[in-house]
């Protein structure tokens, strides 16, 4: 039995969703297999599609085989993505009945795509929808849909040129974004649209190159919508492997979407990942505070954002030079799930999808190259909590990081499995791996009652070899109260000795950070200079690490250049 057939049979047994049906049928065809399975599975997809013309979800699909109704409207976008490729590339080799079934699915499905209202800030779905409309409009000779598709691509480029990529730095969705733009580039009949899709590809790949921390083999910095809490690799790893930035994966059968959307980043872009040090600044939205920064040194990466909009965001991430070690990250939690390993069925998805979600509190920050200050305010009565945490276990801020060398106030400490130690306000924790060091200092923290919270460092014996520093704003569910956390983090290269640790500790300890409060207006000063001024009750930011670049690299906005057709 051919190796590919063994893999396909294994994949076939695991199919549970309609989007997997279309993907599986496409891969069968790409391997030259046009047997009865394509007709069989497309017939199943027919039964999962809403064929009621009076229905609000007409043309869309149930997500899972056992779904009772259509909940997630993204289902039609992901299904038609592969379905249209099957039509474009293989319809002449399908038997007549299979071809008719596929044509019916697409003609009905495009109604679901048109009915699915998506804003350009919802980056991945907006771009997949754009591909679907381009492919359908051009291949079914529908001028109205074609014009709408072209307008959508223009709309996304215009939005991004003003606000940056909203779903920024996402290890999962950059795969979706890049392949969607690549499909438009490869299959559009319109030369102008091809050029515009290539502008988008250049932007995303420049973004990836700048934020890729090669010593760790992954994207660094804060990010939106990351499902892989511990390692932050996810789908984009496939792209990086395919184009040679990472070691090639052995199982390459699932690279079909990358192959069909192939656009290889030129050397002028890929070489950006080898420039050190570099400081990336970027907008991630229209409002003040919607920005992210990322510093990459020779042996560490450190980045934060000034705003979170998704319960899957990581507002702060740091990396050491290892492909095996976990991310360091901060997460605000009510489900007692610091490692993102306890998915729950969520109300917002009609209790259909299982996801690990965390709190989206008010945050603000300021980052200057290798050091940053961040503040967060966690409210127990935040109206978003019921849809994020159906069962609240407490309110926590977790600092999660790999089990490397740990120094508390300059002295090396060792934590055995199950051991924990108390951490005080203004204690300095230094994490060291090889010659890189990350220092963490909590300068302000309260529980939900405004009192001093418990703060501890623990080795809880998890399977990921990570340690955790937790601030306990409350160890149980409460209906009211506000907890606060303010911290300072800095990274340093070339820390090669005990004396180096001592010097780094003294430097971190010497930084003077003060908080002034006037009613609900708060300002944070570093060495007597105001770095942040804000009002968490009004979700208002007056002063922060203001960023205006679309994608800035060491002081130059190369993102703006790309979007206006300029060279790097």
Count of CB atoms situated within 10 Å of the CB of 298: 12
Q: What is the dihedral of CA 303, 301, 310, 242, to 10 degrees?
A: 140
On whether both 272 and 294 belong to a single domain, the answer is no
On whether both 325 and 191 belong to a single domain, the answer is no
Domain final residue pick, 283, 298, 321: 283
Whether the CB-CB separation of 482 and 441 falls below 8 Å is answered with no
On whether both 205 and 72 belong to a single domain, the answer is no
Number of domains in the chain: 3
Stretch among 31-35, 84-88, 343-347 having the lowest mean pLDDT = 343-347
On whether both 435 and 388 belong to a single domain, the answer is yes
Q: Would you state the structure tokens that stand for residue 253, as one six-digit string?
A: 């059968």
pLDDT at residue 2 tops 60: no
The string of pLDDT tens digits covering residues 69-112 is: 999 999 999 999 999 999 999 999 999 999 999 999 999 999 99
On whether both 6 and 66 belong to a single domain, the answer is yes
Please state, in angstroms and rounded to a whole number, the distance separating the CA atoms of residues 157 and 141: 25
Domain final residue pick, 283, 302, 324: 283
Please state, in angstroms and rounded to a whole number, the distance separating the CA atoms of residues 411 and 405: 10
The predicted pLDDT at position 283 comes to 98
CATH number of the domain bearing residue 321: 2.70.98
Helix (H, G, I), strand (E, B) or coil at 521: strand
On whether both 301 and 210 belong to a single domain, the answer is no
The predicted pLDDT at position 251 comes to 59
Establish if 140 belongs to a structural domain. Answer: no
On whether both 309 and 395 belong to a single domain, the answer is yes
Whether the CB-CB separation of 310 and 332 falls below 8 Å is answered with no
Q: Would you state the structure tokens that stand for residue 250, as one six-digit string?
A: 């052995």
Establish if 397 belongs to a structural domain. Answer: yes
Q: What is the mean pLDDT of residues 181-200?
A: 98
Please state, in angstroms and rounded to a whole number, the distance separating the CA atoms of residues 97 and 99: 5
Q: 490: domain range?
A: 289-545
Establish if 11 belongs to a structural domain. Answer: yes
Establish if 340 belongs to a structural domain. Answer: yes
Establish if 122 belongs to a structural domain. Answer: no
On whether both 275 and 310 belong to a single domain, the answer is no
Q: What is the mean pLDDT of residues 509-515?
A: 97
Domain final residue pick, 81, 98, 117: 117
The predicted pLDDT at position 254 comes to 78
Establish if 132 belongs to a structural domain. Answer: no
pLDDT at residue 1 tops 50: no
On whether both 396 and 450 belong to a single domain, the answer is yes
pTM of the model: 0.97
The predicted pLDDT at position 252 comes to 65
On whether both 205 and 315 belong to a single domain, the answer is no
Establish if 415 belongs to a structural domain. Answer: yes
On whether both 275 and 295 belong to a single domain, the answer is no
pLDDT at residue 565 tops 90: no
On whether both 487 and 341 belong to a single domain, the answer is yes
Whether the CB-CB separation of 297 and 279 falls below 8 Å is answered with no
The number of angstroms, rounded, from the C-alpha of 322 to the middle of its chain's C-alpha atoms is 20
């Amino acid at each position: 039995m051919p190796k590919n057939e063994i893999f396909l049979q294994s994949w076939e047994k695991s199919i549970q969703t309609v989007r997997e049906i279309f993907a599986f049928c496409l891969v069968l065809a790409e391997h030259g297999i046009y047997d009865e399975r394509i007709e069989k599975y497309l017939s199943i997809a027919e039964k999962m599609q809403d064929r009621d013309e009076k229905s609000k979800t007409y043309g869309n699909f149930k997500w899972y085989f056992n779904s009772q109704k259509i909940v997630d409207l993204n289902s039609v976008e992901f299904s038609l993505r592969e379905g249209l490729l099957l039509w474009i590339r293989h319809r002449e080799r399908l038997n007549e009945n299979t071809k008719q079934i596929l044509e019916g699915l697409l003609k009905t499905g495009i109604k679901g795509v048109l009915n699915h209202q998506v804003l350009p800030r919802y980056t991945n779905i907006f771009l997949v929808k754009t591909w679907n409309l381009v492919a359908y409009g051009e291949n079914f000779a529908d001028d109205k849909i074609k014009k709408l598709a072209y307008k959508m691509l223009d709309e996304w480029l215009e939005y991004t040129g003003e606000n940056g990529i909203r779903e920024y730095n996402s290890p999962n969705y950059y795969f979706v974004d890049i392949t969607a733009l690549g499909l438009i580039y490869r299959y559009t009949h319109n030369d102008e649209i091809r050029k515009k899709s290539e502008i988008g590809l250049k932007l995303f790949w420049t973004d990836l190159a700048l934020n890729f921390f090669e010593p760790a083999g992954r994207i660094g910095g804060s990010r939106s919508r990351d499902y892989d809490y511990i390692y932050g690799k996810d789908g984009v790893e496939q792209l990086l492997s395919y184009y040679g930035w990472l070691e090639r994966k052995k199982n390459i059968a699932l690279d079909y979407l990358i192959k069909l959307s192939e656009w290889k980043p030129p050397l002028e872009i890929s070489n950006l990942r080898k420039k050190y040090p570099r400081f990336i600044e970027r907008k991630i939205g229209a409002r003040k505070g919607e920005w992210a920064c990322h510093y990459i040194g020779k042996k560490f990466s450190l980045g934060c954002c000034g705003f979170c909009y998704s319960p899957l965001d990581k507002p702060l991430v740091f990396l050491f030079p290892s492909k095996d070690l976990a991310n360091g990250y901060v997460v605000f939690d009510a489900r007692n799930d610091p490692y993102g390993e306890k998915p729950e069925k969520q109300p917002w998805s009609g209790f259909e999808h299982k996801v690990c979600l965390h709190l989206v509190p008010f945050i603000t920050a300021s980052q200057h190259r290798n050091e940053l200050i961040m503040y967060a305010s966690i409210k127990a009565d935040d109206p978003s909590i019921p849809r994020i945490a159906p069962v609240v276990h407490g309110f926590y801020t977790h600092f999660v990081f790999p089990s490397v060398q740990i120094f508390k106030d300059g002295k090396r400490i060792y934590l055995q499995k199950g051991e924990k130690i108390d951490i005080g306000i203004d204690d300095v924790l230094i994490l060291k791996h090889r010659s890189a060091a990350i220092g963490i200092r909590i300068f302000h923290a309260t529980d939900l009652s405004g009192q001093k919270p418990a703060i501890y460092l623990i080795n809880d014996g998890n399977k990921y070899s990570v340690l955790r520093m937790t601030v306990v704003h409350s160890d149980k569910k409460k209906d009211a109260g506000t907890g606060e956390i303010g911290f300072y983090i800095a990274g340093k290269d070339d820390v090669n000795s005990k004396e180096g640790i001592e010097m780094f500790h003294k430097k971190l300890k010497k930084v003077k950070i003060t908080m002034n409060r006037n009613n609900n207006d708060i300002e944070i000063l570093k060495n007597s200079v105001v770095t942040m001024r804000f009002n968490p009750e009004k979700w208002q930011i007056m002063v922060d690490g203001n960023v205006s670049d679309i994608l800035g690299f060491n002081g130059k906005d190369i993102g703006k250049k790309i979007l206006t057709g300029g060279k790097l």
